[in-house]
Each structure stands twice: as C-alpha cells, then as structure tokens.
Amino acid sequence: MFGLAELNWGDTPKDQAAAKDFVLRVLDLALSRHRWEELTYEPPRAKGYLRTYRSMVEEFDPATAGGGTDVLPGPQEAAMASCVRHRVLDALPFWEGCVFCTAGV
Ligand SMILES: [Zn+2]
C-alpha cells in the first residue's frame, strides 16, 4: 500500500518543506484543469479525488515520515522518460507510460 509516510521527503526540514510545497503546487495545477482539454474524456471524479489528496498532503507532516526508500522521481529520471510527442513526463518506471500514448487513441 502506498502511503505518504513511506516516501522519502528529504533529510532536512527545508528539503521536506520544499518537497511538500512541490506536491501541493502540482495538485493545484491539476485542480486548475491544466491541460485537461487534451484528455479524450471528462474525468467526473478527478476534481474530488484531487481535493481529497490535496488535503491529505496539506495535513501531512513530512517530519513524521519514515524516510523510506521510495523517493519522488527527480528531474533527471523524469526527463529521461518524457514523451516528446505529448509533452508529458512519464517518470518511468514509476508509471506505465505516457497517459496519451497508452490511452489507445
Ligand atoms: Zn505520449
């Protein structure tokens, strides 16, 4: 099972705050429907899921994390797996692939 406390949020309070801020900014961007028009469908529950996930992250204190080995993919890993055609970061092997390439469109 995936849990926020199992991620490695960084060793220092500064790194942890930066990591949390990054995740919140990504979620805010998603909530602003950034590039949703490129989806081939209207995700009816996405907004609710994103809001729930965002409040979980908001309330989460990275200092309580176990410092696990699961880390958020760094820029290098993400860039290595970005889909040039769709301008999407795949973050392989964390995800299966570009959401558009694998959508079968
Ligand atoms: Zn693609």
- pLDDT tens-digit readout, 10-23: 889 999 999 999 99
* Distance in Å, CA 70 to ligand 1 centroid: 25
* Distance in Å, CA 62 to ligand 1 centroid: 33
Tokens of 17: 């705050």
- pLDDT tens-digit readout, 36-55: 888 888 888 999 999 999 99
**pTM as predicted:** 0.68
Instruction: Report whether pLDDT(96) > 70.
Output: no
Coil, helix or strand for 7? strand
Give CA angle at 51 (74, 81), nearest 5°. 25
Tokens of 67: 């410092």
